[in-house]
Amino acid sequence: MSLKRKDFLGLYDVSKEEINEILDTAVAMKDILTRTVKKVPTLRGKTVINLFYEPSTRTKFSFNLAAKRLSADVMSISKSSSSIAKGESLLDTAKTMEVMGADVVVIRHSAPGAAKFLAENISASVLNAGDGAHAHPTQALLDIYSIKEKLGQIAGLKVLIVGDIAHSRVARSNIWGLNKLGAEVAVAGPQTLIPREIEKMGVKVYSDLDRALENVDVVNILRIQMERQESGLFPSIREYREIYGMNAERLERIGKKAMIMHPGPMNRGIEIESSVADSSQSVITEQVKNGVAIRMALLYLLAGREIDNENLN
């Protein structure tokens, strides 16, 4: 069993077996990150292009590092410092990259479907690093990996995602992935930030965080974006913190076994209190490390397609 696809666009059309293969591969990749020589020659001669149409620090850095750890050549292009700023279309930019020898194009774009559009129009592998509010599969995979690493399994776990579900590609991708692996997923947040009919994705919906926290194994806290308050989707930062903020008291109530996650960057003191972020139950820094391992696994699995398999002895 191996990943048999040109592109990796989201967890919605990926099988449970494929997810498990990525997670298993990431275990070996993470070992490399702890060695003295943190590099393997696996993707020598391959070229990875990071095409970032949206600001990103950790995802871009993480993909960069993942490609370098595997010995691929990697180039990063951001919107402001390239011909994109001169008005070149997404497709023209990507075609240019392809002609220059890109094997994998990693794309971050504000438009949902941008990765899929690219995948259909270029022959290089396309890896979705976040497209609008649609999908962010590598974030979900690193979240799932972090849960599995700490709790040993996914099936049967109760996972709660708290915050702005409506604008969150991280939430959507987590729901797709976790459901496939047999977790029970719930979401909690202000009704204005919960998309209508989200139940159809197979999740429970809570507006009362304290009820949602009962018997929970994992709490994944999303970043609250300040501009949402300005557009009137919730009354005030202070009120959000009171009602949906993860604080020390709530942490104590969920018990020592439950784990805390946040995809970053955090608003300390708003959706998450510092004492929660830095608690022993928090895996927030480990998530960052696991992100590199997951992206290495995906780059490895996507870079090898076509041609025939032969035994070597």
Binding-site annotation, residues:
58-59, 86, 108, 136, 139, 169, 223, 264-265
Contact by Cβ (8 Å): 72, 47: yes
Binders of another protein among residues 226 to 255 (CB under 8 A) are none
Query: Per the structure block, which two tokens stand in for 50?
Result: 């990071």
Name the residue nearer to another protein (CB basis): 43 or 260: 43
Q: Is 163 helix (H, G, I), strand (E, B) or coil?
A: coil
Name the residue nearer to another protein (CB basis): 70 or 213: 70
Residue with tokens 């929660």: 276
Residue 40 as a binder of another protein (CB under 8 A): the answer is yes
Query: Per the structure block, which two tokens stand in for 267?
Result: 């608003």
What are the residues whose beta carbons fall under 8 Å from the beta carbon of 216, sequence distance 6 or more? Answer: 158, 159, 160, 186, 254, 258
Nearest to 254 by CA among 223, 209, 289, 199: 209
Contact by Cβ (8 Å): 17, 24: no
Binders of another protein among residues 1 to 30 (CB under 8 A) are 1-4, 21, 24-25, 27-29
Binders of another protein among residues 60 to 79 (CB under 8 A) are 70
Residue 101 as a binder of another protein (CB under 8 A): the answer is no
Residue 45 as a binder of another protein (CB under 8 A): the answer is yes
Indicate the DSSP class of residue 268.
B
Between CA 274 and CA 268 the distance in angstroms is 6
Residue with tokens 């994944």: 220
Residue 152 as a binder of another protein (CB under 8 A): the answer is no
Binders of another protein among residues 252 to 311 (CB under 8 A) are 297, 300-301, 303-311
Query: How many residues at the interface with another protein, by CB under 8 A?
Result: 36
Residues that bind another protein (CB under 8 A): 1-4, 21, 24-25, 27-29, 31-32, 35-37, 39-42, 45-46, 70, 297, 300-301, 303-313
